[in-house]
């Protein structure tokens, strides 16, 4: 924990907070996602927390993926589990959808293309993400996106999952059907729901803003989605392909995986190498200096009283003995990136001193909030 200077809170999840932070030795900025061990125990979330650490380590090793919020370090203190993650300062797509209004086909295509490469990275590692929706797509300061929050992701290499997990309105029929085993097919269906939401403002299976989960699930299992005439021919065909109830007929599930989606006529003319290099211009640049979340106050705070009766035992701590991890190639990259900056710095000593002083003031300022 002492290797980082912790800045302001930038989000809140089920088991704790997410902060902006700076690694003290290299100066690199990250997000620090902290899970409270007592809160985990209270909600019996031990398996979920350990699963997130495993999924993060699986996606964060090997070839770098610019479209997933990856982890560089994991560590714990007596009270907290901490993930050090790629920092995404620009808010999430659910928030931006509410601010910007619905996206047009061209704008949606940008997000779709980057998310496809994120899903491809997971599926190649036999991981199904299971919770694709706009709220889990985070923007960086330039407007490029990454899939975030691997809490529900699942390794299907040895055994296919059959649990109904995800968000109503995005879960595939096979996920909703009790006892049915599924794999990456689930993500392509959710992907279709997400694209529809970006274009129309609601999931195709959530009509009249209903809060009735059973109604939404029933729609997912039975309704044939009517696509508006305003959609182009290619878009209609893409969504019809992704929203197929029958897995064998669904785009992305016929044996060629993400290539089936990438080669669909809707994406004709897209240079996927250029997508990978983040060369396409994002449709939306998050306003600088704003919170870009549903209001800083909405983040709220946990009631400390909740976990007062919870005591952590040696057996609880034993669960986390293999938690700490350094992804060595990512650590090496961090050092390489930042040493290079320092060399440039040295060229101008006065600038260096000025910046160091500013940084110090900034850190104090941020800690005060």
Contacts to ligand ADP by CB under 6 A: 10-15, 18, 31, 33, 69, 85-88, 92, 138, 148-149, 151, 293
Q: What is the DSSP string of 124-172?
A: HTTEE----SGGGEEE-TTS-EEE---TT-EE-SSS------S-TTT--
Alpha carbon distance 215, 207 (integer Å): 9
What is the per-residue burial (b if ≥16 Cβ within 10 Å, else e) of 31-56?
bbbbbbbbbbbeeebeeebbbbbebb
- Contact set for Mg ion, span 339-358 (CB under 5 A): none
120 binds Mg ion (CB under 5 A): no
Q: Give whichever of 5 and 258 is closer to ligand ADP, judged by the CB atom.
A: 5
SS3 11: strand
140 binds, among ligand ADP, Mg ion, none (CB under 5 to 8 A by kind): none
- Which stretch, 27-35, 50-58, 148-156, 201-209, contacts Mg ion (CB under 5 A)? 148-156
Tell me if 33 is assigned to a ligand binding site. yes
CB of 229 to ligand ADP, least distance (A): 35
**248 counts as catalytic:** no
Cβ distance to ligand ADP smaller for residue 33 or 38: 33
Which residues, 6 or more positions from 95, have their beta carbon under 8 angstroms from its beta carbon?
Answer: 135, 292, 293, 294
Nearest approach in angstroms of CB 341 to ligand ADP is 21
Dist CA 296 CA 365 (whole Å) = 17
Token couple for 320: 């986390």
Report in angstroms how near the CB of residue 133 gets to ligand ADP at its nearest: 11
- Neighbour count for residue 168 (Cβ, 10 Å): 20
Nearer to ligand ADP, 14 or 62 (CB): 14
By the rule CB under 5 A, 149 interacts with Mg ion: yes
Task: Name the segment binding Mg ion (CB under 5 A); options: 4-12, 109-117, 147-155, 232-240.
Answer: 147-155
Crossing angle for the helix pair 185-200 and 233-242, to the nearest 10 degrees: 140
**Of all helices (H) and strands (E), which one includes residue 175?**
helix 173-176
Taking the C-alpha atoms of residue 242 and residue 235, their distance in angstroms, rounded to an integer, is 11
Least Å distance, CB 363 to ligand ADP, is 18
Q: Which is nearer to ligand ADP, 306 or 348 (CB)?
A: 306
| Rounded Cα–Cα distance for residues 91 and 298 (Å) | 14
Among the options 36, 86, 92, 131, which is catalytic? 131
The site map against Mg ion for 6-35 (x = CB under 5 A) is ------------------------------
Closest residue to Mg ion: CB criterion: 149
Task: Indicate the residue among 95 and 205 with the shorter CB distance to ligand ADP.
Answer: 95
- Burial of residue 25, with CB atoms counted within 10 A of its CB: 0-12 exposed, 13-18 middle, 19 or more buried: exposed
Contact 81, 37 (CB under 8 A): yes
Instruction: Please state the closest distance from residue 35 (CB atom) to ligand ADP, in A.
Output: 8
Which stretches of the chain bind Mg ion, using CB under 5 A? Answer: 149
- Binding site for ATP, by residue number, is 33
- Binding site, by residue number, is 33
Catalytic amino acids? 131
């Amino acid at each position: 924990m002492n290797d980082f200077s912790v800045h302001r809170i930038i989000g809140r999840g089920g088991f704790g907070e997410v902060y902006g932070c700076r690694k003290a030795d290299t100066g690199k900025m990250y997000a620090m996602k902290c899970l409270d061990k007592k809160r985990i125990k209270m909600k019996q979330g031990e398996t979920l927390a350990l699963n997130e650490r495993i999924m993060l380590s699986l996606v964060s090793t090997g070839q770098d993926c610019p479209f997933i919020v990856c982890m560089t370090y994991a560590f714990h203190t007596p009270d907290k589990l901490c993930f050090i993650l790629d920092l995404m300062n620009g808010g999430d797509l659910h928030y931006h959808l509410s601010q910007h209004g619905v996206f047009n086909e061209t704008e949606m295509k940008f997000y779709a293309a980057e998310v496809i490469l994120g899903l491809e990275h997971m599926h190649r590692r036999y991981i199904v993400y299971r919770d694709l929706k706009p709220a889990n797509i985070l923007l960086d300061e330039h407007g490029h996106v990454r899939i975030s929050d691997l809490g529900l992701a699942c390794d299907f290499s040895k055994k296919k999952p059959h649990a109904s997990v995800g968000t109503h309105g995005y879960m595939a029929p096979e996920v909703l059907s009790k006892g049915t085993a599924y794999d990456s097919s689930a993500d392509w269906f959710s992907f279709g729901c997400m694209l529809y939401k970006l274009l129309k403002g609601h999931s195709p299976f959530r009509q009249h803003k209903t809060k009735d989960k059973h109604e939404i699930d029933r729609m997912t299992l039975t309704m044939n989605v009517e696509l508006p005439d305003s959609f182009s021919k290619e878009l209609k065909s893409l969504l019809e392909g992704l929203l197929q109830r029958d897995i064998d007929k669904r785009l992305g599930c016929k044996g060629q995986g993400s290539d089936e989606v990438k080669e669909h006529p809707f994406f004709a003319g897209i240079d996927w190498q250029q997508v990978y290099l983040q060369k396409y211009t994002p449709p939306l640049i998050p306003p600088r200096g704003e919170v870009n979340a549903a209001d800083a106050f909405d983040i709220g705070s946990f009631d400390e009283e909740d976990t007062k009766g919870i005591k952590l035992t040696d057996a609880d701590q034993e669960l986390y003995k293999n938690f700490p991890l350094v992804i060595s190639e990512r650590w090496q990259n961090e050092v390489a990136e930042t040493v290079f900056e320092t060399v440039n710095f040295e060229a101008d000593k006065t600038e260096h001193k000025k910046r160091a002083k500013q940084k110090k003031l900034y850190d104090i300022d941020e800690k005060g909030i």
